[in-house]
Amino acid sequence: MKNSPHALAQLLLFRMRGFLREPAALFWVFIFPMLTALALGLAFRDRPLPELKVAVVDGPEAARLVPALEAVEGLSATRMSEAEGRDALRRGKAALVLLPGPQPKLIVDPMQEEGRTARLMVVDALERLEGRQDRLSVQTRKVTAPGSRYIDFLIPGLLGFGLMSSSLWGLGWALVQMRTGKLLKRLVATPMKRSQFLLSFMLGRSVLALAEILFFVVFARLLFDVRLAGSLLSFVALGLWGSLSFGGLAAFVTSRAANSETASGLMNLVSMPMMVLSGVFFSASNFPDWLQPFIKALPLTALNDGLRGIMLDGMPLLALWPQGLILGVWGLIPFLIAVRYFKWM
């Protein structure tokens, strides 16, 4: 039909204008995730390990021991009475109490990480002081593993969550508004092809998702030096696939909702559990084992795992076929149901 491409272009323009002219939408899609990343990135910044505090009990040897312990990197030593030392230990102000003497005694809780480390370091320092010779000369090379910081974990999760939210709210909300305003009814009273209407939503959503993904990649790189280990193309492809999948879910959730209250309730019902379970802010492996199969089957888990796989571990797209499959199923089946039962008026 002669006018068809034209109609599709108009529908697509209509979708894009609706979004671009809505300042609130721009805020939630672009600014809000960036602010979240900034806030959480700062709160969970990797700090240098604090020095371990050692209490040295007053006595003739103390004067010699304190400077020696101070000289060890990562330890700080203070002189105090034994009672004070025990008190400091109990309150976490000291990791270890040292009672000097020919047979030095250590008071320490070896079940605590700090106590265990302090014990090893203090024993080592005392041995050297007594003239122990090291038989190996061990060399240490310092590295920070890329992709191991919290922000590295967070960025792909935030992107997955962002794609889910903008699909659900962007599509679902628009559909419900058009239904309550009788605009859907008015549209189906024209010769408009419903397939084109649908296609315009999918295309509009994908254009936006593309912008979202690229924006994330750039700001993660510039603001947090988060690097994309895998290929950008795979990353974008998976992101778009996820966004379409959630689009199908959005169409399903709102296929019959007659007002915005019902729709927002339903959309929260879908997105809230996934926000918690699917490893957006912390790893999903923290949940008990019996819950894991269920969590693994959620679309947002699949998307987040996939995005992390590409971004942090440089996985190729093909290796992520299980995630792709999960997303496909979660998108397609609800979509087909939605098409079948969609309420136009």
Partner 1 sequence: MEPSPAPAPSPPALAIEVRGLVKRFEDVVAIAGTDFEVPMGQCVGLLGPNGAGKTTTVEILEGLQQPTSGEVRLLGMRWDKDAAELRERIGIALQETRFPDRISVEETVRLFRSFYRRGLSVEEAIALVRLEEKRDAYVMKLSGGQRQRLALAVALAADPELLFLDEPTTGLDPQSRRALWDVIEGLKGKGRTVVLTTHYMEEAQVLCDQVIIMDHGRIVAQGTPAELIASIGGEQVIEFATTPALPAEAFAEVPTLVASRPRGNGHTLSVKELHRALPGLLAITAARGVSLNHLSTHQATLDDVFLAFTGRSLREDAS
CB 32 within 8 A of CB 216: no
Q: Does 14 bind partner 1 (CB under 8 A)?
A: yes
Read off the DSSP letter of residue 231: -
What is 262-287 written as a DSSP string? HHHHHHHHHHHHHHHHTTSSS-GGGS
17 binds partner 1 (CB under 8 A): yes
* CB-side neighbour CA atoms (13 Å) of 2: 0
The amino acid at residue 108 is V
What's the closest the beta carbon of residue 193 comes to partner 1, in angstroms? 8
Question: Footprint of partner 1 on residues 123-182 (CB under 8 A)?
Answer: 177-178, 180-182
For residues 300-319, which are near partner 1 according to CB under 8 A?
none
Minimum gap (Å) between residue 203 Cβ and partner 1: 15
Q: How many binding residues for partner 1 (CB under 8 A)?
A: 28
Q: In this structure, what is the dihedral angle of CA atoms 34, 38, 39, 42, given to the nearest 10 degrees?
A: 170
User: Which positions from 174 to 213 touch partner 1 by CB under 8 A, shown as an x/- string?
Assistant: ---xx-xxxx-xx-xxxxx---------------------
d(CA 101, CA 61): 7
The residue count for the chain: 345
Please provide the DSSP assignment of 182-202 as one string: THHHHHHTSS--HHHHHHHHH
Closest approach of partner 1 to the CB of residue 190, in Å: 4
Nearest to partner 1 of 150, 344 (CB atom): 344
Q: Is 1 among the residues that bind partner 1 (CB under 8 A)?
A: yes
d(CA 23, CA 75): 53
Query: CB–CB of 238/320 below 8 Å?
Result: yes
Using CB under 8 A as the binding rule, whether residue 3 contacts partner 1 is answered as yes
Q: Judged by CB, which is closer to partner 1: 19, or 281?
A: 19
d(CA 24, CA 22): 5
State the minimum distance, in angstroms, from the CB of residue 185 to partner 1: 6
- Nearest to partner 1 of 31, 189 (CB atom): 189
Instruction: Give the range of 2-10, 31-39, 107-115, 125-133 binding partner 1 by CB under 8 A.
Output: 2-10
Least distance from C-beta 249 to partner 1, angstroms? 23
- Minimum CB distance to partner 1, residue 200 (Å): 10
Measured from the CB of residue 20, what is the shortest distance to partner 1 in angstroms?
9
| Chain residues 20-49 in contact with partner 1, contact rule CB under 8 A | 21-22
| Burial of residue 136 (number of CB atoms within 10 Å: 0-12, 13-18, 19+) | exposed
Contact 81, 58 (CB under 8 A): yes
Of the candidates 244, 229, 190, which has an alpha carbon nearest to the alpha carbon of residue 307? Answer: 229
What is the distance between the alpha carbons of residues 237 and 166, in angstroms, rounded to a whole number?
17
Nearer to partner 1 by C-beta: 64 or 182? 182
Q: Out of 35, 123, 291, 345, which residue is the one contacting partner 1 (CB under 8 A)? A: 345
CB of 341 to partner 1, least distance (A): 16
Residue carrying structure tokens 């996934």:
274
Least distance from partner 1 to the Cβ atom of residue 196, Å: 9
71 is a contact residue toward partner 1 (CB under 8 A): no
Q: Identify which of residues 6 and 64 has a Cβ nearer to partner 1 in the complex.
A: 6
List contacts with partner 1 (CB under 8 A).
1-3, 6-7, 9-11, 13-14, 17-18, 21-22, 177-178, 180-183, 185-186, 188-192, 345
